[in-house]
Amino acid sequence: MNSSFINEVIAAIESREIKAYYQPQYDANTGRLVSAEALVRWEKANGEIVSPDSFIPELEKTEAINLLDWFMAEEVCRTIHELGEAAVPIAVNFSRWHIRERDFSRKLNSLLSTYGIQPRMFEVEITESAMAAVEFSIIQEWAYNVADIGVSIAIDDFGAGFTSLQFVKDLPVNFLKIDKAFLADNCQDDRGRGTLETVFFFANKLNLSTIAEGVETIEQLKFMQNMDCDRVQGYLFSKPLKKEDFLVIALMDNQPTVDDDNFLKKQGTF
Ligand code: C2E
Ligand code: MG
Ligand code: MG
Ligand code: MG
């Protein structure tokens, strides 16, 4: 373990160089903003913006990641609180260490109450590979505790790790977040398309909502619409945004639109 690097990250959290960015998620059919994912960014003093791939894997080797994830969770609670009536549910990525954090759900529940956040506004993302690293009975207890406080669980990067049907069948999971690698080639060949169609068939059978991440093209969006995918997220719609920019989008989206009849009447336009 490189402890000086970890200390540097901890210092960056304290000095607020580490920030939560927000990537909007849209209803695949109506195009409405329905939720978002919080993604960490390190804004260095020299203006450089560092992506998580260059520090999360190192941090994840130790429990130091917990500090960062709880920091993100608190930032998200603040944002939801600030949005008030215009808030949408926001997902936070948690690493595998949290599955073994004995009081995870109690801690999350008390964080939510501190900010007066309804549990349905907060979503926990955990990757399939994180789950595969822990004994099933432990994951099960953890997941039921999370579900008990009313927070949703999404399996992130679904299909890319060690997909176990047991994760989906025997855990209180709400969302399958299909790994973006599947989208990259879905439109190109029959095997890719077939795999995706099977995942959606399976999700629908089990009443799970679906999220497609990494949607970059119109072709991929159309495919997701045909699959009845619930939410779409990707560069086609928006990159992860600074908090200020996300607040604007969330506040604007929850205003009535000009083509809304009632709105025009209320405005006395005719
Ligand atoms: P992830 O949770 O699977 O997040 C999705 C990644 O896809 C993000 O990368 C996002 O910026 C990127 N992405 C979004 N739209 C597109 C697109 O259209 N095309 C492509 N190619 N990529 C897209 P990012 O932000 O670099 O994060 C990488 C990973 O780092 C995340 O993958 C997640 O596993 C981890 N991570 C990010 N923030 C946190 C955090 O606060 N805590 C923990 N434990 N892990 C985090
Ligand atoms: Mg994620
Ligand atoms: Mg993912
Ligand atoms: Mg990933």
pLDDT digits (tens, 9 = 90+) for 76-88: 999 999 999 999 9
Nearest residue by C-alpha to atom 41 in ligand 1? 40
The answer to whether residues 20 and 39 touch, using CB atoms and an 8 Å cutoff, is yes
Average pLDDT of the segment spanning 198-219: 94
Nearest residue by C-alpha to atom 22 in ligand 1? 214
Average pLDDT of the segment spanning 226-255: 94
Q: Is the CB of 56 under 6 A from ligand 1?
A: yes
The rounded Å distance from CA 257 to ligand 2 centre is 30
The answer to whether residues 12 and 68 touch, using CB atoms and an 8 Å cutoff, is no
Question: Can you tell me whether residue 89 is helix, strand or coil?
Answer: coil
pLDDT of residue 185 exceeding 90: no
pLDDT of residue 29 exceeding 80: yes
Question: Can you tell me whether residue 22 is helix, strand or coil?
Answer: strand
Nearest residue by C-alpha to atom 43 in ligand 1? 93
To the nearest whole number, what is the mean pLDDT of the chain? 90
The rounded Å distance from CA 51 to ligand 1 centre is 9
Return the pLDDT at 262: 47
In which residue are the tokens 């500090």 written? 67
Q: Is the CB of 235 under 6 A from ligand 1?
A: yes
Average pLDDT of the segment spanning 84-103: 95
Q: Is the CB of 75 under 6 A from ligand 1?
A: no
The answer to whether residues 43 and 64 touch, using CB atoms and an 8 Å cutoff, is no
pLDDT digits (tens, 9 = 90+) for 127-174: 999 998 899 999 999 999 999 999 999 999 998 877 888 888 899 999
Return the pLDDT at 267: 41
- ipTM above threshold 0.95: yes
Ligand 1 atom closest to residue 65's alpha carbon, by position in its atom list: 44
Q: What is the distance between the alpha carbons of residues 128 and 136, in angstroms, rounded to a whole number? A: 12
The answer to whether residues 187 and 150 touch, using CB atoms and an 8 Å cutoff, is no
Q: What is the distance between the alpha carbons of residues 79 and 88, in angstroms, rounded to a whole number? A: 10
pLDDT digits (tens, 9 = 90+) for 235-248: 999 999 999 999 99
